[in-house]
Chains A and B, each alone.
Chain A
Amino acid sequence: MEIILDVTDLHIEFHDSDTPETAVEDFDLMLGAGEIVGIVGESGSGKSMSALAIAGLLNRHAIKKTGRIMFEGHDLLTCDRKTLRSFQGDEISIIFQEPMTSLNPVKRIGWQVEESLRIHHPEIKKNERKKMAIDMLLDVGLENANEVYYMYPHELSGGMRQRVMIAAAMIGNPQILIADEPTTALDVTVQAQIVELLKKLNREKGTSIIFISHDLSLVSQLCQRVIVMQKGNIVESGDTKTVFSRPRHSYTKKLIAAIPKIDLDN
């Protein structure tokens, strides 16, 4: 498998207060083309921070990052902003935990879905762009795409907004989609639909996905490989089935034990 993203020795420190706080101590990730990798761990384990770093969204001066994030021959941690921006939304996209607030409330859905195209491919004509956006909205399962195109975020439910976010992230046909707890804020039934959608997009478009979640059952449904993080470090990683059936690290065992089991006999 061709490796498209290579993260080594990623270290992230916050310098907002007097004593620096370490969010990620040591993170490594090799992502293959078309692969789905899950990152699991409790809140504060550094999984979201690692994802934001890969997406190039940790740019405040108070954040110190070391290590390497190699993508297409560039180190995303040290390359200039312009190079980084040329990948953002075009080759590396991200969707977030909060679909309710992640869309701009005063802009139409179509405008937001098309934005990456407008930025990275200004050569595409307006009506062509619109057609692509509507096709993309259909692809993510919004059947009334023609109407949704002209709607505003507040007119859509949380699940629909997350689909819009996915459409906006996928319209440039990126190599990598980072999904940072994309289902946490959604109903259980909608969660399953979103996971199915990510699977479908991965299968049809070959997009590699980094799926971050604290929901182990979702990770086991979706991901071929999983990374378990605790307190900024990777404690275990490997094939999803192996890790979940024969966990070696005590933390992984605890996470698996924490999954609520429904006793169907009662």
Chain B
Amino acid sequence: MKYTLKKLSSTIVTLIVVSLCVFLAFNVLPGDPAIRMLGLEASPELVAQTREKMGLNDPLLVRYFRWFVAFLQGDFGTSYTYSVPVSSLILSKIPITLTLGLLAFFFTVVISIPVGIATAKYENGILDRSITVINQVIMAIPPFFSGILITFIFGMILRLFTPGGFVSYTQDIKGFLRYLFFPSIAIAFPKIAMTVKMLRGNLIDEAGKDYARTAYSRGNNTNGVLYRHVLKNAMIPVITFLGMALADMVAGSIVIEQVFNIPGISRILLSSISNRDYPVVEAIIMGIAMIVIGVNFLVDIIYRIIDPRIDIDD
């Protein structure tokens, strides 16, 4: 419990630091949001009036606290470009991007763990050798490129899905998931390859340790040593990696959304960046940061459950 509270407090501190960084970064960027909103021909008086109205003349810290408190209450500000609340722009897009990232994470876990175990168990066998080669290739292909390949092979030649035929989750949840299947595979591919490689290496290392020999000496067969002894030890670093991969995949889905024409967060993020629509960009970056921080917190908790060596006082 003490450990959890400690991790929770450090998580909150991290969140505050990140929010401060995000806020400050957008304050030092060139470009006046008031002029952006009014256009270059606006009279200086009108600009000054608007700046006052938007609170841009207040001290930096005041503006930060106002922004942060509002953010916690779910008020992400008003879009400069569209003059509507940011939340109305992004809230409906969040489930799309999040589902895409989580689906990719799901495939990473359910594919890489059994494959990693199989390659380690039959080390240097045909399966292991071929997967090692395939892994090297997949790791070298960035998701946007495998996305293009997948669109071409599965979308245009095999016609397993209609490229560009996105179905909203509000209309048809099955069709929505079916459309996200291939993009999420494209995101998951390099992570699957990395996880397999890592798990395989860890399993082989752990199987060579003294405790594994002890396990054999008690009459365990290979599966007994593997599943009852080695796997849990080998999974500890893999869980850290999967945590980082999950955060990365949610953020990484932004590129894939462009490739597969999915109306998620990416489109609005990219247009907001080019329009200097700071409130929207800030909200999205904060959202991504919160996912990363939240996942890290969860990983710390899972870590504590599976590795008893982590001291409560640490």
Least Cβ distance of B304 to chain A in Å? Answer: 12
Q: Which stretch of A100-108, A127-135, A231-239, A244-252 is in the interface? A: A100-108
Least Cβ distance of B86 to chain A in Å? Answer: 45
Least Cβ distance of B170 to chain A in Å? Answer: 45
Interface pair A85/B308, CB less than 8 Å apart: no
Once A116-B218, A152-B309 are accepted as A-B contacts, the answer to whether A106 and B210 lie under 8 Å apart by CB is no
A45 to B308, CA, bound (A): 38
In the complex, chain A residues 32-67 whose Cβ is within 8 Å of any chain B Cβ: 55-57
Closest to B232 in A: A106
Interface string of B199-222 (1 = CB under 8 A from A): 000000000011101111111110
A55 to B218, CA, bound (A): 10
Closest to B236 in A: A106
Least Cβ distance of B212 to chain A in Å? Answer: 8
Once A96-B210, A107-B229 are accepted as A-B contacts, the answer to whether A152 and B308 lie under 8 Å apart by CB is yes
Give chain B's interface secondary structure class. Answer: helix
> Does any Cβ of A come within 8 Å of B69's Cβ?
no
Once A55-B217, A85-B219, A85-B221 are accepted as A-B contacts, the answer to whether A101 and B210 lie under 8 Å apart by CB is yes
Interface size of B by Cβ–Cβ distance < 8 Å? 21
A87 to B219, CA, bound (A): 7
> Does any Cβ of B come within 8 Å of A214's Cβ?
no
> Does any Cβ of B come within 8 Å of A13's Cβ?
no
Least Cβ distance of A89 to chain B in Å? Answer: 3
Interface pair A98/B210, CB less than 8 Å apart: yes
A94 to B210, CA, bound (A): 12
Least Cβ distance of B196 to chain A in Å? Answer: 22
Interface string of B271-288 (1 = CB under 8 A from A): 000000000000000000
19 CB contacts below 8 A, A to B, read: A57-B216, A57-B217, A86-B219, A88-B217, A88-B218, A89-B219, A90-B219, A96-B210, A101-B210, A101-B211, A102-B210, A102-B213, A104-B211, A104-B214, A105-B308, A106-B233, A106-B306, A107-B232, A119-B220
Given contacts A89-B218, A119-B218, 19 further A-B contacts (CB under 8 A): A57-B216, A57-B217, A90-B219, A101-B211, A102-B211, A104-B211, A104-B214, A104-B229, A104-B233, A105-B233, A106-B307, A106-B308, A107-B229, A116-B218, A116-B219, A119-B219, A120-B219, A152-B308, A165-B214
Residues of B near any A CB (own CB < 8 A): 209-211, 213-221, 224, 229, 232-233, 236, 306-309
